[in-house]
Structure 1
Amino acid sequence: MQTAAALTMVRDDAFFLAAWLCHYGGALGRENCYVINHGRGPEVTALAEGCNVIGIPGDAHKNFDMKRWRMLNNFVMGLRCYYDHVIVGDVDELVVLDPAAGRDLLSFLRETPVNRVLTPLGLEVIHRTDVETAPIGERILGPRRHVRVAPHYSKPCVVSVGTKIARGGHFTQYDKLHTPEHLYLLHLKYCDRAAYGAAMDRRNAMTAEIGTGIKGAAVGRHWFAEARGEDDAVFDGFSQLPMQEGFDMAPLRRRMQRSWKPRGETGYWEFDRPAQQAQYLLPERFVGLV
């Protein structure tokens, strides 16, 4: 058995795919990266050279997200036959290990017991346009150092047991909560003002092609132009988030554990996900990690 594979599905998101490939290709080896190319885009194929690229039709569909996660679930279960751990998520989500752990991600997974689901603590990398004026180059962390806590993105995304993952990847039917101390999921949606606008334009165009409203589609509200709001207002708002001292995330993990419970009668499990109006400055040791 190989130690770990990473799996994502992407359609035209070259900016985020490049970051995903740099991170997981470097950490796990491109031969252990699986990219589902929705629409068989040639740019995705070119960027993901050396990875396992699976092309699928790109037809727009109102139940896009349901179909996507049904397929990802099946791929995860198949890859588990050959890998101890499978990391699955959106192309703008990266599982990282705090360098304070003293080892890299692959070493950490190699030493982690199987037959469980790991839930990294979710952090959104935010572009503080008022103070972060340098463009992103080969690495994101450096030009961007600010994060906000995002319980919605504390996803059960490192899988080494047979389970079902809910649409969006937010819940599984595994009944225990493992939140390793140094493990984080970085959500990159807001890491760059220009990249955000371009991605939202593409998603708005896709939902317009579907031709149904928010209530008639199994796609996140943020994919619809009418729910988008003003991009500048979104990024201007980041400067208003209260800045927290230090970088102690242990209380947040304890809060997740205390609220762990069944998600109604669905068979899934969850923890409370209160909105967090706070931001942190990533310690210097994270620079260059992504």
Structure 2
Amino acid sequence: MEPQACDIAFATMVGDEPVFLPIWINYYARIVPKAQLFILVDGLHRVIPPEAEGCQVIRLPSVTPGPGWDVARWRMISLFTNALLQRFGVVVFNDVDEILLADPAQGGNLLGHIGQAREAGVLSPFAIEMLHRIDLEPDPLDPAHPILAQRRFGRINASYCKPCITARPINWSIGGHYADYPTLNLDPALFLFHLRFVDHDMLRGRQASRQAMMQPGAAKGAEVAGAGWLKGAQDMTDFLQSFVDAGPPLENDFSFGWQRRRIIDSWHHDAEAGIWRHDRLHNRKTYRLPDRMADQF
């Protein structure tokens, strides 16, 4: 293990997560000991996969979703991360369906890039939202095999250029998309791959589970957990179909120069929310993943 790995912790929060949690654990356990992987479990009744053995699993009593539920959850996550910073130099917190990757074309040294937060304070990756191109990838996802070998298409979604790598106390907004840290450090080699949309059937099932968590008559939208929780299973099918309708995938080198510049140039303070943020940037353009990334996870 590299000496700098002893100083880095990875953390996430899950409910029942039989697919993405093993992927998350197996990926980061390649670079740090499992004892440096922290898993907050939302609910004492949750089933934890065997891959979690050796990780720091912290079971919490569940709270019924309602107004302010996700605000309180992310406040807790922020405080937990800040507590970990008393023992670790850098903490990485992501949702379990988000994987960080250092571009192989720039050395592929994930730990090295994460470690730069010690000087920078907080780092953000560039974000690629992986998609199931249902017209080009007919087979269901097999989680036992590498994801990027089965799903080769994604889109830019700047909302996932999250300030998720921190060496300073931080307070995140809902979803961890933004924070109160005033400086944007968009790492030129780091990518965040958002995996929520990698399989059509899995996506429909996940959305149905989310809706089942909501109380009958509960407040909607951001009052509970964001507008994404309100969409139904058919909305997910329609979403994936919209990328098919937008046309064939584009080929490029994945440098995304002007898109990175737009994110950086739009950085501003949202005084009402008390956070620093960049503008949104997403559309229905699909990009083919470069071959150099296909074997990464």
- Normalising by the residue count of structure 2, what TM-score does the alignment of the two structures yield? 0.89
Alignment of structure 1 residues 201-216 onto 2, 5 Å: 201-207=208-214, 209=215, 211-214=217-220
Matches within 5 A, 1:30-179: 30-44=34-48, 46-62=50-66, 63-110=68-115, 112-114=117-119, 116-134=121-139, 135-136=141-142, 137-179=144-186
Does 2:40 align with 1:4? no
1:20 paired residue number: 24
Contact 1:117 1:159 survives alignment (8 Å) = yes
Task: Determine helix, strand or coil for the equivalent of 1:37.
Answer: strand
Structure 1 position 218 matched with structure 2 position 218: no
| CA drift at 1:228 | 5.3
- Which residue in the other structure is 1:253 paired with? 260
Question: Within 2, Cα distance between the matches of 1:194 and 1:42?
Answer: 22
Q: Distance in 2 between matches of 1:265 and 1:212?
A: 25
What is the alpha-carbon distance in structure 1 between the residues aligned to residue 210 and residue 46 of structure 2? 18
Whether contact under 8 Å (1:84, 1:114) holds in the other structure is no
Tell me how large the CA RMSD over aligned residues is.
Answer: 2.1
Conserved 8 A contact 2:90-2:117: no
Distance 1:250 1:27, change over 3 A: farther
Listed one character per residue, the Cα deviations across residues 36-66 of structure 1 (whole Å, up to 9, x for unaligned) are: 1111345226341111000011231313211
CA distance in 1, matches of 2:137, 2:256: 24
3-state DSSP of counterpart to 2:92: strand
Contact 2:243 2:284 (C-alpha < 8 Å) held by counterparts: no
CA distance in structure 1 between the partners assigned to 2:10 and 2:192 by the alignment: 13
**Cα drift, residue 215 of structure 1:** 5.0
- Larger deviation, residues 67-76 vs 101-110: 101-110
Q: Please state how far the C-alpha of 1:240 moved relative to its aligned partner.
A: 2.7
Q: Do the aligned partners of residues 102 and 219 (structure 1) sit closer, same or farther apart at CA in structure 2, a change above 3 Å counting?
A: same
Q: Percent identity over the alignment? A: 30
Deviations 1:258-285 (A, max 9, x none): 1111113443111111332311111111
Unmatched 5+ stretches in structure 2? none
Shift of residue 224 of structure 1? 2.6
Kept in 1, the 8 Å contact 2:122–2:163? The answer is yes
Letter aligned with residue 157 of structure 1: C
Q: How many matched pairs?
A: 288
- Post-superposition, which runs of at least 4 consecutive aligned residues in structure 1 deviate over 4 A? none
2: distance between equivalents of 1:232 and 1:190? Answer: 10
The TM-score with structure 1 as length reference comes to 0.91
* Per-residue deviation, 1:255: 1.1
Q: What secondary structure is seen at the aligned counterpart in 2 of 1:40? A: coil
